[in-house]
Amino acid sequence: MALDEIVEFSKSFHDEIWAEAHAIEALREEVFVQKMGDILEEYGEIEALTPCSYRATGMKVDGYCYDDEFKDFILVISYYKDGADPSSTKVTNTDVSREMKRISGFLEKCLKGAHKRIEVSNEAYDLAKLIYDCRDEIRNVKFVLITDGVAPKKPSEVEEIEGIDISRTVWDIERTCLFYRTGEREQISIDFSEYCNGPLQCVAIKEESLVYTTYLGFIPGKALADMYNIWGIKMLDMNVRVFLSARGNVNKGIRNTILESPEMFCAYNNGINVFARGVTLTEDGTGLVSAKDFQIVNGGQTTASLYHTKKKYPHAGLEKINVQMKLTVIHDESKIDNLVPLISEFSNTQNKVQAADLAANEAPHPEIQAVSKAIPAPDPTGGSKQTYWFYERARGSYEEFKNLTAKTQAQKNLFDALKPKKQKFDKIKFGKVWNAYLRLPNLVSLGGQKNFARFNEWLREQKEEEWTSFFRKTIALMILWNEMERIVRRGSFGGHRDKIVAYSLSWFFQLTESRVDLEKIWQKQALPESMSTCLGEISHVVNDHIRLTDLDVGEYCKKIMCWEKLLEKNFALPSSIKDEYISGKTGNGYSATIESETEAIQFCKEMGSQSWFDLSKWLKERDFLTPKARSQCFNMGRTLQRGKEPSVLLSIPCMKAWKDAGLRGWDAR
């Protein structure tokens, strides 16, 4: 990558860090860790980062990921130089070794009980105690060094500490720039003889127009597990599903088959669907020698379950397992981005995957981005100064738009004044603020990518939304979220601040029945003092609540029961909050409920499609509930009529609408 590209990216990246740090009153390194966490999650290096800053003699950690099922950890350490010029932020081999030694020291001391010497209120206490409690079960730990400097290039390193397999990797500003600018991931080339003791036998099926060729064969289960051991979730980069560990029914079924009936695996399992950019065949064309850019686009659960089961149960009979594989090579490069997601979506039969799990490149995201470019925010002083909130739908689109519209330095300065970076938001934050508003903090706690996928299901169902109004509501929610972040940072709560923010806002919306006037917040571009005070009081209750568990706090927050138990608590809203309600209305038209996800989906399916059509008509004739609630009921009918599985984010408000209608005299009989 050219030096000038890295210089330009580094300056923009640091400007963004500095602007956001100032806006939310945070340390620059904290913002750097959060931003790198989002990038690493999107890349596939980690699942979801929990920020956790701690340093002591010979020890440092800045964040972690934890797999509750398999007791694996990813520990992240930051070496933040706070310099925008790459030529002055060189990171030496000595620097890398020193920082890796510090994160290694943290792990080793935690294994020996370091949590006993860490204040309970400290962010690192939960992590240190978790490592200690799991010390006999931990098998794999990955150290990830993140830095805004330029580090020496070297392959990942692996060693063993206290019987634990340790791997190390470095993300510097060059590597971050490459991924941020291009989205390019490391291509995986598979030599089948390495894993299968020779070429993999297959049958080739060529499509007449030569757009693609498909190869059918059977790959040993042990080979898949060994591949995953080396490449991990990078093998699933083009997959629309995220492996959610072996706690789900499907994954448990896969695991049980591996352990109890490995010889029946091929009969019971649907196999894997693979994309590759090219293959090498044996001379007679009957065997796969190698595959370039090997990506599992369907079958991620199967692959990961084979790997994790082998790790947890070393004597599992993987040598008896064969997995059917369909490998598709698309010959026209221009069609890959469109066809691969469709292959993944249409081939899925194990867990329902909506098209909304794909990137935010389909409606209504372009429409919302267009609104963000066109609608100025009101001047909070009452004057004529205009600024814009910019929705960065695709990575880098803010800088691209700036480069296209601002050529001279004066134009760039004007652009920065009109569209300040502190008013830029991406799809990850977009999903967080709305799912908090929909009272789904457990989904927000799943992490940026998973939460966005669930939010996107709901967003695509808002067929009748007026996007300018929706955008203004979104910015009001952004302002609420940013203020909540500031409040939580001032609260000295220790770790899990993002969870406290999500749960506090969701509870606030529950307590106010979503009657807060979002349009008023948009007009003022700020919250009233009474609301900020109320949110501060709520945050203290939430902080105490999420820690009242024997589970890891981060894992507990992902569970619906954490939310349901919070709603059992009493909290008296100050009377002044009613001054901020929508006049004469019962809410903003976006409903949610505390019912479990499974219960809501099952309830809606049991009612049948015609009942939902009837309910929608009944509500419209009487002008009951909101137009959005009536539309959601109609969409539920249409979803069921087409034989599709309703999403949780449609099922929850529909179930509430049904019950609310019942109070008004609705009777499906």
pLDDT value of position 63:
95
Alpha-carbon span 326 to 202, nearest angstrom: 9
- Cross-strand partners of 219: 323
Q: 84-143 pLDDT, tens per residue?
A: 999 899 999 999 999 999 999 999 999 999 999 998 888 899 899 999 999 998 988 999
Percent of the chain at pLDDT > 90 equals 52
pLDDT value of position 585:
52
pLDDT value of position 600:
84
For residue 577, the tally of other CB atoms under 10 A from its CB is 18
- Cross-strand partners of 171: 146
Strands 212-220 and 200-206: antiparallel
Percent of the chain at pLDDT > 70 equals 90
3-state secondary structure of 190: strand
Mean pLDDT check: name the lowest of 279-283, 448-452, 473-477.
448-452
Distance of CA 222 to the CA centre of its chain: 29
> Is the entire prediction scored with pTM above 0.85?
no
Q: State the sign of the Cα–Cα–Cα–Cα dihedral 457, 463, 468, 470.
A: negative
Q: 194-246 pLDDT, tens per residue?
A: 999 999 999 998 876 678 999 999 999 999 999 988 887 678 765 544 443 44
Mean pLDDT check: name the lowest of 141-150, 340-349, 411-420.
340-349
Is residue 218 within 8 A of residue 324, CB to CB? The reply is yes
Find, among 399, 241, 24, the residue nearest to 34 by Cα.
24
For residue 405, the tally of other CB atoms under 10 A from its CB is 14
Distances 605 to 348, 609, 610, 645, 653 between C-alpha atoms, Å: 20, 8, 11, 8, 14
pLDDT value of position 538:
97
Mean pLDDT check: name the lowest of 259-273, 341-355, 378-392, 523-537.
341-355
For residue 89, the tally of other CB atoms under 10 A from its CB is 21
Alpha-carbon span 84 to 10, nearest angstrom: 5
Q: Residue 259: phi, psi to the nearest 5?
A: -80, -40
Query: Helix crossing, 365-374 with 467-490: angle to 10°?
Result: 80
Distance of CA 469 to the CA centre of its chain: 26
Q: Which amino acid is at 535?
A: L
- Token pair belonging to 314: 């070393």
Find, among 82, 127, 121, 119, the residue nearest to 103 by Cα.
127
What is the radius of gyration, based on Cα positions, of the chain? 26
pLDDT value of position 313:
83
pLDDT value of position 350:
42
| Half-sphere CA count of 524, side-chain side, radius 13 A | 13
Is residue 391 within 8 A of residue 369, CB to CB? The reply is yes
Mean pLDDT of 559-569: 93
pLDDT value of position 79:
97
pLDDT beyond 60 at 586: no
The structural domains of the chain, with segments of one domain joined by +, span 3-182, 189-353, 365-590, 591-669
pLDDT value of position 282:
94
Mean pLDDT of 602-623: 89
Alpha-carbon span 176 to 163, nearest angstrom: 32
Alpha-carbon span 62 to 28, nearest angstrom: 13
pLDDT value of position 389:
96
Distances 303 to 64, 227, 242, 298, 339 between C-alpha atoms, Å: 24, 9, 12, 10, 22
Distances 426 to 38, 342, 363, 375, 604 between C-alpha atoms, Å: 10, 24, 16, 17, 32
- How close are the terminal C-alpha atoms of the chain, in Å? 67
Q: State the sign of the Cα–Cα–Cα–Cα dihedral 288, 289, 290, 296.
A: positive
